[in-house]
Amino acid sequence: MNEKKPFKPYIPANKVIPEFTAVSLILGILLAVIFGAANAYLGLRVGMTVSASIPAAVISMGVIRFLLRRDSILENNMVQTVGSAGESLAAGAIFTIPALFMWATENDAVGTPSFWEIAIICLCGGLLGVLFMIPLRTALIVEEHGVLPFPEGTACAEVLLAGEEGGDKSKVVFSGLGIAALYKFVADGLCLFPSEIAWNIKPLKTGFGLDVLPALAGVGYICGMKISSYMFAGGVLGWFVLIPLISVFGIDNMIAPAADKVISAMAPSDIWGSYIRYIGAGAVAAGGIISLVKTLPMIVKTFMKAMKGFGRKNDSELRTSKDLPMPVVLIGSLAIAVVIWIIPAVPISFLGALIIIIFGFFFATVSSRMVGLVGSSNNPVSGMAIATLLIATALLKATGNTGFTGMASAICIGTVICIVAAMAGDTSQDLKTGYIVGATPMYQQIGELVGALVSALAIGGVMYLLNSAWGFGTPSLPAPQAMLMKLVVEGVMGGTLPWGLVLCGVGIAIVIELLGLPVLPVAIGLYLPIYLSAPIFLGGVLRWFFENKKSAKDEKHRKHMIDRGVLYSSGMIAGEGIVGIALAILAVIPMGKGNTLASIISLGTPLGNITGAVFFLLLLASMYFFAVRRGKAKEGSN
DSSP letters spanning 480-548: HHHHHHHHHHHHHHH--S-HHHHHHHHHHHHHHHHTT--HHHHHHHHHS-HHHHHHHHHHHHHHHHHHT
593: alpha, beta or left, given left = phi > 0 and alpha = psi -120 to 50? left
Of 353-367, 381-395, 398-412, which range is least confident? Answer: 381-395
At residue 145, what is the residue type?
Answer: H
- Predicted local confidence at residue 636, as pLDDT: 42
How confident is the model over 230-245, as a mean pLDDT? 92
Judge whether residue 4 has pLDDT over 70.
no
The pLDDT of residue 156 is above 50: yes
* CB-CB contact of 93 with 40 (8 Å): yes
The amino acid occupying position 423 is M
- Give the pLDDT score at 300: 67
Mean pLDDT for the stretch of residues 583-609: 77
| Residue 255 pLDDT grade (very low, low, confident, very high; cuts 50, 70, 90) | low
Q: Is residue 218 part of a domain?
A: no
Could you tell me how many residues make up the chain? 638
pLDDT > 80? residue 281: no
Determine how many CB atoms are found less than 10 A away from the CB of residue 22: 7
Per-residue pLDDT for 427 more than 80? yes
What Cα–Cα distance (Å) separates residue 131 from each residue in 135, 408, 449?
8, 26, 9
Residue 358 lies in a domain: yes
Contact 43, 484 (CB under 8 A): no
DSSP SS3 for 590: strand
* CA dihedral for 3, 9, 11, 16, sign (positive or negative): negative
For residue 437, being part of any structural domain is answered with yes
* Predicted pLDDT of residue 637: 40
d(CA 521, CA 536): 12
Residue 123 has pLDDT above 90, yes or no: yes
Asked if residue 2 has pLDDT above 50, the reply is no
- Pairing relation of β-strands 595-596 and 196-201? unpaired
Place 443 in a pLDDT band, splitting at 50, 70 and 90.
very high
Least confident of 188-192, 208-212, 311-315, 559-563: 311-315
Maximum Cα–Cα distance for the chain, whole Å? 81
Q: How confident is the model at residue 8 (pLDDT cuts 50, 70, 90)?
A: confident
Global confidence as pTM = 0.73
**Residue 264 pLDDT greater than 80, yes or no:** no
Question: What pLDDT, on a 0 to 100 scale, did the predictor assign at position 232?
Answer: 93
Contact 41, 152 (CB under 8 A): no
In a domain, 239, yes or no: no
CA 387 to chain centre: 19
Q: Is the pLDDT of residue 95 over 70?
A: yes
pLDDT at site 449:
94
pLDDT digits (tens, 9 = 90+) for 444-460: 999 999 999 999 999 98
Residue 158: the pLDDT is: 73
Domain assignment present for residue 340? The answer is yes
Mean pLDDT over 616-629 rounds to: 89
Domain that holds residue 151: 22-169+296-314+322-372+381-394+404-488
Q: Please check the confidence at residue 538 and state whether its pLDDT lies above 80.
A: yes
Confidence of residue 497 (pLDDT cuts 50, 70, 90): low
The DSSP call for residue 589 is S
Q: Which carries the bigger pLDDT value, residue 359 or residue 12?
A: 12
Position 539 in a domain: no
For range 458-472, the mean pLDDT: 87
547, pLDDT greater than 90? no
Distance (Å, rounded) from C-alpha 340 to C-alpha 338? 5
Q: How far apart are CA 168 and CA 61, in angstroms?
A: 10
- Looking at the structure of the chain, the number of domains it has is 1
User: Which of 97, 237, 225 lies closest to 529, judged by CA?
Assistant: 237
564 compared with 630, residue with greater pLDDT? 564
Question: What is the mean pLDDT of the segment spanning 221-232?
Answer: 86
Higher pLDDT, 441 or 152: 441
**Inside any domain, residue 31:** yes
Q: What is the pLDDT of residue 295?
A: 63
- How far is it, in rounded angstroms, from Cα 542 to Cα 256? 39
Measure the CA–CA gap between 147 and 305, rounded to whole angstroms: 15
Mean pLDDT of 135-152: 77
In the three-class reduction of DSSP (H, G, I as helix; E, B as strand; rest coil), residue 324 is classed as: coil
With respect to residue 450, please indicate whether it lies within any of the assigned structural domains.
yes
**One-letter-per-residue 3-state SS of 153-220:** HHHHHHHHHHHCCCCCHHHHHHHHHHHHHHHHHHHHHCCCCCCEEEEEEHHHCEEEEEECCHHHHHHH
Question: What is the residue-wise DSSP string for 71-101?
Answer: --HHHHHHHHHHHHHHHHHHHHHHTTTHHHH
